[in-house]
Structure 1
Amino acid sequence: MIYVKKVSDKKDLIDFVKFPFKLYSKSKYWVPPIIDQEINNFNKDLNPNLKNSEVELFIAVKNNEIIGIIAVIINWYEVKQQKTSKIRFGWFDFVDDLEVSKLLLQKVIETGKKNKLKYIEGPMGFSNLDKVGILTSGYDIIGTMITSYNYSYYKDHYESFGLSPEKNFHEKTFMFDDIDTGYYEKMSRIVKTRNKLSEVNFNSTSEVMKRTNEMFDLFNKSYEKLSSFVKINEEQKEFMKEKYIKFINPEYIKFVENEKKEIVAFAIIMPSFAKALQKMNGKLFPFGFLNLLWAKRFNKDVTLYLIGIDPEYQKLGVTAIIFNAFIQTLKNKGIQICRRTPELTDNISVDKIWKNFNPKLIKTRSTYRFEIN
């Protein structure tokens, strides 16, 4: 018999976090998270996202063995301020048994009904910077530290329950050898001169941290018109600094500023930590952090983490300045491949940015929706 229980103590939480390690133990493509970071995601004292959100975690059990997990999330800022009557679900993993996925999804619906919400959507996290969507193609390609992975049967389970695709995302990659470097060097000079702009390069993490809040403000401004976008607040900015920015090589962060020294565009690239995280298998210590340090210094693949452009500057070609700066930095380091994080397929403006890079589609993913009766 299968039953579902709510996570109620530290042991349950650890079991919840460790279940994917068992489910994907034979997968060459799943990238494990750091266990301590996953546990901290659900700690109100450590994760500022929980100031505006509430979460319930559930575990499906059969014969004293965990066979599925799900997080039920209400982002109250989204519900009350944006008037979006949605309940989210995430951290949704399960064995290939339709009864398991059905019982877990019913917990989302029950919580939605209690709170008079109209529909469920997921998988997603607390904010737009969390992992999003189930993989719908590209199952035989290794993931990244900032994307989720799942087996191909997940899609069948979602559709069997009656969920339908809500938002679609694609992931693309490109080779630096395919880029016309002369074109971007020329365009960078023209755009800088015409619009009185300049690039900002960093040599230390401390320099970056001084301007990170400005960068996140621009991120909010850049994406505020996208569907389902929830702005990052001050506490979340601090959280993101500690969780991600400190790990990024300072030379992999580029800004463009105007003559008033205001940031009008930015981009962040991260070394690929995927294989390092696979070697670590969730543990930073005693030696796991050494794998991260090696990847940070020597990896020849990178992942585009974030890009943001002030709407007033989006048609002025400022991306040429960013790309030219990155091309010089990355070629000097021998970087060969850049992978883009999931982007909404309806975000046409971002897609146009990459048209000259000969991008190759490698993965697709979707969030799914279900109306609550």
Structure 2
Amino acid sequence: KASNMSLRIRTVASKRDLKEFVRFPFRLYADCPYWVPPINKAEYFTLERGMDPDFGATKARLFLAERNGRTVGRIAAIINMKEFEKVGEKHTRFGWFDFEDDREVSRALVDAAMEWAVKEGGQLIKGPYGFTALDKAGMVIEGFDFTGPASTLYNYEYYRDHMVDMGFEKDVDWVEFEIKTPSEPPARVLKAVDILQNRYGLHCVPMRSSKDVMQRVDELFQLYVETYAELPGTVPLTQKQVQAYAKQYLPILRPDFVKFVADAEGKMIGFGITMPSMSRALQKARGRLWPFGVWHIMQAKRKPRLADLVLIGIKKEWRSRGVHTLIFWDTMRTYWDVG
């Protein structure tokens, strides 16, 4: 498909195309100090498994935009059948949406995604989203001079203007906060923790090793789906997805940064997962694990100065009792221990 002789939209149809799809943003953001690149291997893994309907009950098509033989944009169009079952409509997600500041390019990419979506029975298009809510999502509309967590997306300011010009409307705000760790526990926190522990018998289950975390993985993801069910973009996960996400994220988690809250009977009712900030390490790695990427990541894991709260969930019947206080209290104690 082409809108003129120089602009061409084509489907990713080979490993070479996929490599170009993954590498394009490295050129687009080459001079941007705020963009946090992914690890190439992880991107290939995410995209290849996402396009396998037997893996995640998803259909997907990737597109590249080329002008005079040079890549100028990319987009992924995704239909998650689990989401269809959940909402009763075929929502088409678009993600991995990057483009030069050229409205013809962004419009042509969205048109290609929408054309594919219509053929697949899609009834609306929304994004940026990944295959599931555990993939990166969203678009920056404020704070362009800030380096965010590695689990979030960054984009240039002109993206927002392109979306408005194409008629997209904001669906939901996701806001990032930076919180300073207090030097000592506030009295009200200690009081709340005492009530939760002594009146309700709640306690944080210590995670001393990756093996301890793995033993709770299925329970964790089950609680994640339950507690996030009402949030935009959240869909049930297949068992293959659970195993894949565990394999992907467990190696970079510190077990002591994973907090599980159990009731008096030992049943998990809440969780909070923070991880050492990997943003600067990934910027240094530039998408590659070897030869130095692994070293930068391990250094960030061993000696964190900043941590990212990536997931927190509490059973609905416990949310009004301040269980999050116990999670934050135990997390703060870990931060004090590691400095």
Show the counterpart of 1:236: 241
Q: Does 1:73 align with 2:112?
A: no
Show the counterpart of 1:338: none
Unaligned runs of 5+ in 1: 335-373
| 2:220 alignment partner, SS class | helix
Aligned residues: CA RMSD = 1.7
1:120–1:283 CA distance, 2 compared to 1 (3 A):
same
The one-letter code of the counterpart of 2:308 is T
The one-letter code of the counterpart of 1:248 is L
Show the counterpart of 2:166: 161
The one-letter code of the counterpart of 2:142 is S
Unaligned runs of 5+ in 2: 1-5
Query: Following TM superposition, by how much is the alpha carbon of 1:226 offset from its aligned partner in structure 2, in angstroms?
Result: 2.9
Distance in 2 separating the partners of 1:227 and 1:291: 34
Equivalent residues of 2:259, 2:330 under 8 A apart: yes
| 2:101 alignment partner, SS class | coil
Match of 1:57 among 58, 62, 86: 62
| 1:270 alignment partner, SS class | strand
Q: Does 1:292 align with 2:297?
A: yes
Equivalent residues of 1:48, 1:236 under 8 A apart: no
Q: Does 1:308 align with 2:321?
A: no
Q: Answer 1 or 2: which has greater strand percent.
A: 1
Larger mean CA deviation between 46-55 and 104-113 belongs to: 46-55
Show the counterpart of 2:139: 134
Distance in 2 separating the partners of 1:144 and 1:49: 31
Query: Following TM superposition, by how much is the alpha carbon of 1:214 offset from its aligned partner in structure 2, in angstroms?
Result: 0.7
TM-score (norm 2): 0.94
Distance in 2 separating the partners of 1:30 and 1:49: 33
Distance in 2 separating the partners of 1:60 and 1:91: 13
Show the counterpart of 1:211: 216
TM-score (norm 1): 0.86
Q: 1:224-303 residue pairs with structure 2 within 5 A? A: 224-303=229-308
The one-letter code of the counterpart of 2:131 is F
The one-letter code of the counterpart of 1:246 is P
Q: Does 1:44 align with 2:49?
A: yes
| 1:133 alignment partner, SS class | coil
Query: Following TM superposition, by how much is the alpha carbon of 1:79 offset from its aligned partner in structure 2, in angstroms?
Result: 1.7
Equivalent residues of 2:96, 2:128 under 8 A apart: yes
CA deviations 1:239-263 (Å, max 9, x no partner) are 1111112211110011111122100
Query: Following TM superposition, by how much is the alpha carbon of 1:275 offset from its aligned partner in structure 2, in angstroms?
Result: 0.5
Equivalent residues of 1:55, 1:71 under 8 A apart: yes
| 1:91 alignment partner, SS class | strand
| 1:239 alignment partner, SS class | helix
Query: Following TM superposition, by how much is the alpha carbon of 1:229 offset from its aligned partner in structure 2, in angstroms?
Result: 2.3
| 2:179 alignment partner, SS class | strand
Equivalent residues, number? 334
Query: Following TM superposition, by how much is the alpha carbon of 1:86 offset from its aligned partner in structure 2, in angstroms?
Result: 1.2
Distance in 2 separating the partners of 1:198 and 1:51: 34
| 1:42 alignment partner, SS class | helix
Q: Does 1:15 align with 2:20?
A: yes
CA deviations 1:85-112 (Å, max 9, x no partner) are 3111000000000000010000121012
Query: Following TM superposition, by how much is the alpha carbon of 1:232 offset from its aligned partner in structure 2, in angstroms?
Result: 2.3
Query: Following TM superposition, by how much is the alpha carbon of 1:84 offset from its aligned partner in structure 2, in angstroms?
Result: 2.6
Query: Following TM superposition, by how much is the alpha carbon of 1:328 offset from its aligned partner in structure 2, in angstroms?
Result: 1.1
1:178–1:328 CA distance, 2 compared to 1 (3 A):
closer
